[in-house]
Structure 1
Amino acid sequence: MQLEEILREYGRRKGIGKLELDDEGICRLMINKTSTISFEKSLFDNGFFIYTSVGILPVDKEKELSLSALIGNLFGKETGQAHLGYEPNSRSLVLFTFISYEGLTYSKFNSDFEEFIYYMLYWISKFEELKSESGESTKKGLYHPIDEKNKNIFYA
């Protein structure tokens, strides 16, 4: 399946109407009336990216937040299949993932997209916690989006 087919099917199944790429080749989807998730074709036409900003880095907390993002990013510990990056023009911490067209079905897309949303919500919460002065009080409420029983563990 191609991105356009995925978007049409997602819109149909969720009852949100026809989702299409705009003139820039991007489809933006609002989640919870607060977060925008973007879908954009890869330049190599072998898949597409899903991405969203999880927060703006404040100058006074830049080092702490950046280190937390790097630690969470390592081996997908707190990002799953997604990754965190930094967009310098807006000073945004961006969560993104690449979905390959190879073997892509709607079911696989939906599973990957749901995981992406879980990690997006996790990082938005974590980012807010780390930005706040009293981060300790909210730390107990933060949960990992994918609990251990759902992780695939293997030994080499």
Structure 2
Amino acid sequence: MTFDELTRSLSDRLGLPDLAANREGMIRLAFAGDVEVDIEPEADGDALHIYTRLGPQTEDPEVLARLLAANLFGRETGGAVIALDDFLKELLLARTFALGTLDADAFLAALEEFVNYAELWRDRLASGDLTRYPEREDAQAARPDLMIRA
């Protein structure tokens, strides 16, 4: 799938007939909860990036350590990463997709999940409650005594 094909598919599926890339070649979608997601292809056209602002950049080492821990295997970010944008001085949530293997249904599902994680992390950052790890349904699966060891 190309970026143009994805744009047309999003336009149809989201009921946004005027959806088109801007002069910089990117699309911005606004969702409830004031989440704006930018969708931008790489220059070579092989990959697609989606990202959103989570809040202002912080220098707090405890917050930065917690955000870094949240990135591990994408478990607390839905496969996205939390990053620092030094130029804009912001925290971002970002995810990259290979356009060659992407289909519109999978992208829409991933986009919805991405927006949900963005809202979660915005709320966590705004409240300052970053110390608690989320409850996981598969908590037993992570217990070392239940792992197979070679």
Judge same fold: TM > 0.5, yes or no: yes
String of CA shifts for 1:9-46, please: whole Å, max 9, x gaps. 22222223321111111111111162211010113321
Secondary structure at the aligned position of 2:71 is classed as: helix
> Percent identity among equivalent residues?
25
Query: What code does the residue aligned with 2:48 have?
Result: F
* 1:148/1:44 CA distance change after superposition, 3 Å: farther
> Which residue of structure 2 lines up, in the alignment, with residue 7 of structure 1?
7
Residues 87-134 of structure 1, C-alpha deviations (whole Å, 9 max, x = no match): 11222111000111122211111111111111111111111121xxxx
TM-score (norm 1): 0.77
Unaligned regions of 5+ residues in structure 1, if any? none
The equivalent residue for 1:110 is 108
Structure-2 separation of matches of 1:43 and 1:14:
25
What's the RMSD between the two structures over aligned residues? 2.8
Following TM superposition, the consecutive aligned residue runs of length 4 or more in structure 1 with deviations greater than 3 angstroms are: none
1:95 maps to which of 93, 96, 113: 93
Which piece of structure 1 moves more, 103-112 or 5-14? 5-14
Q: Between Structure 1 and Structure 2, whose CA radius of gyration is higher?
A: 2
Q: CA deviation at 1:7?
A: 2.1
Question: Would the alpha carbon gap of residues 98 and 58 (structure 1) be closer, same or farther in structure 2, given more than 3 Å must change?
Answer: closer
Give the structure-2-normalised TM-score.
0.80
Equivalent residue letter for 2:53: S
Q: In structure 1, what is the Cα distance between the partners aligned to 2:104 and 2:90?
A: 30
For 2:137 and 2:110, locate their aligned partners in 1 and report how far apart those are by CA, in whole Å: 17
Q: Secondary structure at the match of 2:61?
A: helix
Instruction: State whether residues 28 and 36 of structure 2, in contact with CA within 8 Å, keep that contact through their aligned partners in structure 1.
Output: yes
Runs of 5+ consecutive residues of structure 2 not aligned to the other structure: 143-147
In the aligned structure 2, how far is the partner of 1:4 from the partner of 1:18?
A: 13
Contact 2:2 2:45 in 1 (8 A): no
Q: Which has the higher contact order (CA 8 A, sep 6+)?
A: 2
